[in-house]
Amino acid sequence: KAGVTQTPRYLIKTRGQQVTLSCSPISGHRSVSWYQQTPGQGLQFLFEYFSETQRNKGNFPGRFSGRQFSNSRSEMNVSTLELGDSALYLCASSLEPGQGEQYFGPGTRLTVT
């Protein structure tokens, strides 16, 4: 069974631009969560989607948004990029919310210049 896939793997953007990242969960998994990882703040929860609905949201500004499609694939968008948005963005999938094991994708490394 294929694991969680994320595209693109690497991205370089300039301040003020926007970016869209994509995540395809493990087949059969319907819950997708997004995390941001930086050296200073560690791994921080962004949001979670299940059945095309955002179920939980972390403490991030409104510039960070996401959505989930009927096939459980998810995208996250960051608008008006800032230098501090440079990070590894990780997607994790599980069968359903609160059901235990979550598996991470390889991540998208975003660099904002």
Binding site for another protein (CB under 8 A): 31, 33, 35, 42-45, 48, 50, 55-56, 58, 90, 92, 94, 97-107
- Of the pair 16, 61, the CB lying nearest another protein is at 61
- Of the pair 14, 103, the CB lying nearest another protein is at 103
- Of the pair 69, 103, the CB lying nearest another protein is at 103
Dihedral (C-alpha) 48, 54, 56, 59: value to the nearest 10 degrees? 90
Q: How far is the CB of 109 from another protein (least distance, A)?
A: 9
User: What stretches of 1-113 adopt beta strand conformation (E)?
Assistant: 5-7, 10-13, 19-24, 31-38, 42-50, 53-57, 64-68, 74-78, 87-94, 103-104, 108-112
